Chains A and B, each alone.
Chain A
Amino acid sequence: MASVIDHALEEFAAEVGPVGPIAIQGGKTRWDANGVPIPEARLLSAPTGIVTYKPEEMIVTARAGTTVEDLHTHLKEHGQRTGLPDRGGTIGGAIAVGENDLNVLGKGRVRDAVLQIRYISADGEIISSGAPVVKNVSGFNLHKLLVGSFGTLGLIAEVTLRTNPVPAETMWLTAAITDPIKIFDSLYKPAAILWDGRTIWVQLEGHKPDVEKQQETLSQIGNFEQVERGPELPQHRWSLPPADLYTISNYKTGRFVASIGVGTVWAEHPQPLRTPDRGKQIIEERLKQQFDPTNRLNPGRKIGNWN
């Protein structure tokens, strides 16, 4: 019923068509993540522009080629933001990669932000999954499956996202700290706690008096000073259970910045390849077979960090 399809999407679907290898480029900020598309692939970009924005519903619909920066600049005028990472790139790219921002504890995960996706199938059709409402259990969640799929099951064309309010106050604080657990345990819902083994950076968000009170709590633990932003992040991204960060010296990360309470680590060295679970892999292969039997969608990219 809600399927009023945007003209720009129809044009994009026609461009994709039903045959031949296709690769989608977003902002190319994570171009070589999980393999580079084969050279024969036709390079396309998703359409751009914000389609509808309803601040009073905390929902925005935008075409996938829109940059996250443009989206967030627009939302900020109404005091809102989304869980997509602010590090350059397009909305479609951010969802296809699925990596969260460094302050994920505050702004939420990418996968939780996605309410609806319209994608172009390997047959060149426009498919919708999800809906522009904040709560929904109506059928299978194809849109969940597309988050982090690297464009291998469908080409993301339009996305509806949940927005959330930009907090009244935001503050970065830093101190030399060797025990990050103590900091994590002493704060209520911090936006980010980043730690490189010696120094900690804490992002506090919320109402001004709450942030000030938390700042006071921190000052009782360490010699915290206010800074403009968090640390520079090393190039490679690891994903570990949060408790593993407390014994991170066991891992060969090189220089690192770890997100306490989350488990993401930005490290000098890449994370070693992990062995996939066979049962899961079989389903992934079947999904690929179901959604893209001729392997025309972003060929050359593989899903996951597997050997």
Chain B
Amino acid sequence: MSLVDRLKKAIGLSPFHDPLVADLQKALSPDRVLEDYEERLLHSKDESVFEGGLAGPVCFPLTTEEVQSIMKIAQRHDRDVIPRGAGSGLAGGAIPLGAPVVVALTKMNNIIEVDIENRIAWVEPGVINLELSDHLRPMGFHYAPDPSSQQICTIGGNVANNSGGPHCLADGVTDTHVLAIEVVLPDGEVTQFGGLDPEPDGLDLRGAFIGSEGTLGIATKIAVRLTANPEAVKTILISFPTMRAAAETVSAVIAGGIVPAAMEAMDQRTIEVIENHVPAGYPKDAGAVLLVEVEGLPDGIEIDAERICEIAEKHQAEDIRIAQNSWQRDALWKGRKSAFGASTYISPNYYLHDTVVPRSALADVLDQVNAIASENDLTIMNVFHAGDGNLHPLLLFDAEEEGTLERVHAVGAEIVRISLEAGGVLSGEHGIGIEKQQFMNDLFSDEDLNHQNRLRFAFDPLCRINPGKVLPQGHSCADIQTLQKPPEGVWV
């Protein structure tokens, strides 16, 4: 044992001596099965605020066969497994509970084939979302779902979380754009869900897998649909005196039968933070702005853009800017895309929430959310996918300040309650993970959850993949005895 390891052991941060590591290293290679403390610590977290994860050995497979081997070895050693992409998830989906083998798919990052005739691309799960679109764009296509984290998140993670993004309003979220998935099942068998044909035989296991947060198997190859680049795009920034006026415009646009390609909202504090730190030319005195984009053929988008502007004007729009070229368009989007990053200039920590409400309830719900935050003395930024009613209240805080995190969680619980009361749901894109398990009983009956558990069970009867997630305590795969306790034979 090295001196560093001995020191770590002395202070309770001991190296990991896991009996299955030798088998894993033999199946992969020693440099792709890591068991040192730093590596495991790094892989015990995601981008959420949750602590308490405990990673087992971290494997970096390169092929489907290697993923199969990992599954089989884990099974032989009676150990759990957790798939992991970039770790950018915000609900704790990739946080390992009970020292499972971490299957990090980031090295399986090849775009295997772009098949223009079938309008699909086969990719490995570790391909970065933006890199896929950048690869496709010169060919006249792109991959439509564009999460704000697209520079870092993986297609595998997107599939697991059924991720969305600003441009999913008209085109649909991940589920609409994934046709087939090669999956390694918990017992190490490999199979394909879905197909390139429009109506594959049998049950839609593809549909059940997407959004299952890494609990049903490991995606090792994904066939995504190629979306044709639009012939014309119009990007409009509309400012309003209040967020209420902006939110009412969103409802009115949808009610008017227009589904723009994107319709994003930002509140006054967000505009201020953007303009102070990463200026994008947003009107600093506005109470809220909407960033609306319409795509399609040149004449049609003129008609839609005109109608959207008319509707906005009826709802107190103050200033309407239409990007005249791609440079101006990029500038308008730059503000939206930099908003989260900019928040770090004014606060060391953030907690990004994610609920969905009916679009007609947006204005009222936002009022309530803001009131709860200010009652609890928390700063809040609202920057969100308004077009589909997907709220993203961003709570800013300093974790060093005692008691703050408790207040953040309390406000989070209130945001969930307000959203459900308005007829909404727990999450629009981040998933349940460990963040919202305790609220699942508020959305579903016991019988509903029992049926969800049956689905989980049919894929993973032994609860080996990512246990302790999604379903609340009381359902079989949710019952991890103690989150920190390592399995038999493992010392930490």
Query: Which of the residues B300, B360, B442, B443 comes within 8 Å of A54, measured between beta carbons?
Result: B360
Chain A residues near B210 (CB-CB < 8 A): 141, 144
Chain B residues near A280 (CB-CB < 8 A): 191-193, 202, 205
Chain A residues near B272 (CB-CB < 8 A): none
**What does the 1/0 interface line of B173-210 toward A look like (CB < 8 Å)?**
10110000000010001111101111111111101101
A-B contact pairs, 21 of them (CB 8 A): A104-B198, A131-B356, A135-B428, A139-B432, A139-B440, A141-B207, A142-B451, A144-B204, A144-B208, A144-B210, A188-B231, A207-B300, A209-B300, A239-B198, A239-B199, A241-B197, A262-B198, A263-B198, A264-B199, A276-B201, A283-B458
**What does the 1/0 interface line of A78-111 toward B look like (CB < 8 Å)?**
0110000000000000000011100010000101
Query: Which of the residues B421, B430, B447, B449 comes within 8 Å of A137, measured between beta carbons?
Result: B430
**What does the 1/0 interface line of A253-288 toward B look like (CB < 8 Å)?**
000000101111000000000101111111110110
Chain B residues near A264 (CB-CB < 8 A): 198-199
Query: Which of the residues B204, B442, B461 comes within 8 Å of A145, measured between beta carbons?
Result: B204
Is A174 located at the chain interface by the 8 A CB criterion? no
Query: Which of the residues B173, B185, B208 comes within 8 Å of A140, measured between beta carbons?
Result: B208
Is A291 located at the chain interface by the 8 A CB criterion? yes
For residue A77, give the distance in angstroms from its CB to the closest CB of chain B: 13
Chain A residues near B444 (CB-CB < 8 A): 3, 128, 139
Q: Judging by beta carbons under 8 Å apart, are A283 and B205 in contact?
A: yes
Chain A residues near B447 (CB-CB < 8 A): 121, 125-127
Q: Judging by beta carbons under 8 Å apart, are A3 and B451 in contact?
A: no
A165 to B259, CA, bound (A): 8
For residue A265, give the distance in angstroms from its CB to the closest CB of chain B: 10
Chain-A contact segment, one of B17-25, B250-258, B368-376: B250-258
Q: How many residues of B contact A (CB 8 A)?
A: 91
User: Which residues of B are at the interface with A, using a C-beta cutoff of 8 A?
Assistant: 115, 117-119, 161-162, 164, 168, 172-173, 175-176, 185, 189-193, 195-205, 207-208, 210-212, 228, 230-231, 251-252, 254-255, 257-259, 296-297, 299-300, 303-304, 356-360, 385, 388-390, 420-421, 423-432, 436, 440, 442-445, 447-449, 451-452, 454-459, 461, 470-471
A290 to B231, CA, bound (A): 48
For residue B48, give the distance in angstroms from its CB to the closest CB of chain A: 15
Q: How many residue-residue contacts, CB under 8 A, span A and B?
A: 253
- Nearest A residue to B207 via CB reads A144
Chain A residues near B176 (CB-CB < 8 A): 109, 112
Query: Which of the residues B172, B300, B423, B443 comes within 8 Å of A139, measured between beta carbons?
Result: B443
Given A2-B423, A262-B198, A283-B459, 6 extra CB contacts under 8 A: A109-B176, A137-B432, A138-B443, A139-B470, A280-B193, A291-B451
* B447, B456, B471 — most chain A CB neighbours (10 Å): B447
Q: Top 5 nearest A-B pairs by Cβ distance?
A: A279-B191, A144-B207, A56-B255, A209-B299, A243-B117
Task: For chain A, give the interface size range.
Answer: 35 or more
Q: Judging by beta carbons under 8 Å apart, are B199 and A210 in contact?
A: no
* B199, B207, B385 — most chain A CB neighbours (10 Å): B199
For residue A60, give the distance in angstroms from its CB to the closest CB of chain B: 13
A132 to B210, CA, bound (A): 19
A289 to B457, CA, bound (A): 11
Q: Judging by beta carbons under 8 Å apart, are B201 and A100 in contact?
A: no
